[in-house]
């Protein structure tokens, strides 16, 4: 095939989030500015400094069967649900496809952490005889990708990506490379995370990364706000169906957007704090523009990493100004973690879905809880209500602990 045939397009969306499950419900919730943050129910959080999180309510039709519930971690259940939704959204008929040409890439930050936590407690309390027989496969970071392949009978390349909060976006990069290299024609790619556990909530609270607005859960996540005090941990997953443009055209698929390019970099600065000037993030932004053949003035919208911590939001704003110049102050910016919370390794994939929907539906979601935007950031953060506008190109940012930076560039699909 020619290089043009290997352009990477998006044909299916499968978000599983605290504000909605499925593309339509997820998009409607974004436009309403709904919050999925609430008091924690997945464990007894009494006595903990942080007692709020974004939890997912899986509809009965998407929940695992009883025989499957005990054989996989919740992170895998969420990923499997997301893959099913994405596949249905794409209209891809697996029975008519060469399954050796369909790949899977799923990113995660912590893998089967609830399985690990439960078995650690059993080991320390009762000894090794009480470890679960499926403990190892359930807790592996590659378990979600493996389970999707098993359930759907997919025989192409499969992989897991672990780059903390950039994992979901990084998985889309890997999937894109599988397609452009000719290794696969279709890849189900995204991220998953189920971190609402006593250990992870306690651990992030210990390093003062989380908001402590326990009495006002829906107002706790406040990206780019002057009074932001930390992010809100969340569970979730999202899978996108990526295809070569030629494959999508051959089957008459509806193309939602094109994954035109990407940029990646490392901060090499600190294990948890971003570079104070956003230097690594700026390099990733510039690389994404180059890869996509875009100029700063071509960018219609920025889906920000926007966690709501003091350091992250400030560093991201500096990176945007450094990479985009004067355009940075006039491009509409949204941070949907204000609604969903921060789903760590799934966040980049969830936000990629939102970026694609902004292009496909011509509307930019709001950033909630933005009563007092931080004037020092110099950004046009969309607050209050969504904005209807033509969206031709979106940059979707994911910046992670460890200094991993990934920026995805999505554009309106070229005319057929």
Same fold, 8-250 and 261-411: yes
Mapping DSSP onto H, E and C, the string for the chain reads CCCHHHCEEEEEEEEEECCEECHHHHHHHHHHCCCCEEECCCCCCCCCCCCEEECCCCCCCCCCCHHHHCCCCHHHHHHHHHHHHHHHHHCCCHHHCCHHHEEEEEECCCCCHHHHHHHHHHHHHHCHHHCCCCHHHHHCCCHHHHHHHHHHCCCCCEEEECCHHHHHHHHHHHHHHHHHCCCCCEEEEEEEECCCCHHHHHHHHHCCCECCCCCCHHHCCCCCECCCCCECEECEEEEEEEEEHHHHHHCCCCCCEEEEEEEEEECCCCCCCCCCCCHHHHHHHHHHHHHHCCCHHHCCEEECCCCCCHHHHHHHHHHHHHHHHHHHHCCEEECCHHHHCECHHHHHHHHHHHHHHHHHHCEECCECCCCCECHHHCCEECECCCEECCCCEEEEEEECCCCEEEEEEEECCCCC
Is the pLDDT score of 23 beyond 80?
yes
Name the active-site residue from 77, 301, 321, 342.
Answer: 342
Give the pLDDT band of residue 64 (cuts 50, 70, 90): confident
**Span 283-309, pLDDT tens digits:** 999 999 999 999 999 999 999 999 999
**Span 348-361, pLDDT tens digits:** 999 999 999 999 99
Query: What value does the mean pLDDT take over residues 173-182?
Result: 98
Q: Could you state, in order of their start, the residue ranges of all structural domains in the chain?
A: 8-250, 261-411
**Span 101-111, pLDDT tens digits:** 999 999 999 99
Active site residue 149: no
Name the active-site residue from 77, 247, 305, 404.
Answer: 305
CA distances from 336 to 368, 378, 397 (A): 8, 19, 12
pLDDT at 416: 63
Is the pLDDT score of 70 beyond 90?
no
The residue count for the chain: 416
Is the pLDDT score of 3 beyond 80?
no
Q: What percent of the chain has pLDDT over 70?
A: 99
Name the active-site residue from 77, 165, 275, 301.
Answer: 165
Is the pLDDT score of 114 beyond 80?
yes
Query: What value does the mean pLDDT take over residues 367-385?
Result: 95
**Span 307-344, pLDDT tens digits:** 999 999 999 999 999 999 999 999 999 999 999 999 99
Stronger pLDDT, 59 or 333, i.e. the higher one: 333
User: Which is the CATH superfamily of the domain at 261-411?
Assistant: Thiolase/Chalcone synthase (3.40.47.10)
Is pTM beyond 0.85 here?
yes
> What's the CA angle centered on 309, arms 199 and 266, to 5 degrees?
85
The third-level CATH classification (topology) of the domain covering 8-250 is: Peroxisomal Thiolase; Chain A, domain 1 (3.40.47)
pLDDT at 302: 98
């Amino acid at each position: 095939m020619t290089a043009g045939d290997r352009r990477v397009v998006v044909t299916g969306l499968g978000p599983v989030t605290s504000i909605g499950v499925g593309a339509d419900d997820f998009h409607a919730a974004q436009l309403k500015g709904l919050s999925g943050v609430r008091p924690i129910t997945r464990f007894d959080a009494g006595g903990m400094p942080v007692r709020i999180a974004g939890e997912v309510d899986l509809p009965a039709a998407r929940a695992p069967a009883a025989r499957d519930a005990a054989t996989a971690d919740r992170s895998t259940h969420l990923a499997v649900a997301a893959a099913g939704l994405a596949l249905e959204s794409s209209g891809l008929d697996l029975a008519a496809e060469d399954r050796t040409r369909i790949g899977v890439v799923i990113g995660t930050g912590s893998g089967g952490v609830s399985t690990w936590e439960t078995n650690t407690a059993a080991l320390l309390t009762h000894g090794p005889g009480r470890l679960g027989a499926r403990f190892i496969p359930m807790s592996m970071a590659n378990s979600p990708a493996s389970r999707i392949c098993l359930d759907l009978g997919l025989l192409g390349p499969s992989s897991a990506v672990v780059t903390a909060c950039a994992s979901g976006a990084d998985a889309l990069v890997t999937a894109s490379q599988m397609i452009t290299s000719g290794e696969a024609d279709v890849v189900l790619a995204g991220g998953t995370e189920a971190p609402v556990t006593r250990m992870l909530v306690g651990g992030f609270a210990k390093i003062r990364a989380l908001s402590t607005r326990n009495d006002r859960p829906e107002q706790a996540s406040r990206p780019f706000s002057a009074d932001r005090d930390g992010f809100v941990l969340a569970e979730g997953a999202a899978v996108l169906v990526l295809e070569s443009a030629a494959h999508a055209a051959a089957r008459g698929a509806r193309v939602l957007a094109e994954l035109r390019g990407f940029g990646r970099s490392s901060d090499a600065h600190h294990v948890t704090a971003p570079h104070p000037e956003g230097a690594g993030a700026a390099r990733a932004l510039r690389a994404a523009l180059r890869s996509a053949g875009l100029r700063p003035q071509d960018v219609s919208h920025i889906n920000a990493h926007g966690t709501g911590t003091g350091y992250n939001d400030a560093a991201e704003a500096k990176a945007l100004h450094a990479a985009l110049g004067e355009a940075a102050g006039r491009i509409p910016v949204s941070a949907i973690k204000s609604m969903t919370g921060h789903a760590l390794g799934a966040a980049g994939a969830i936000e990629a879905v939102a970026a694609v929907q902004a292009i496909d539906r011509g509307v930019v979601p709001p950033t909630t809880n933005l009563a007092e935007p931080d004037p020092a950031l110099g950004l046009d953060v969309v607050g209050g209500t969504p904005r209807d506008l033509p969206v031709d190109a979106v940059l979707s940012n994911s910046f992670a602990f460890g200094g991993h930076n990934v920026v995805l560039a999505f554009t309106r699909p070229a005319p057929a």
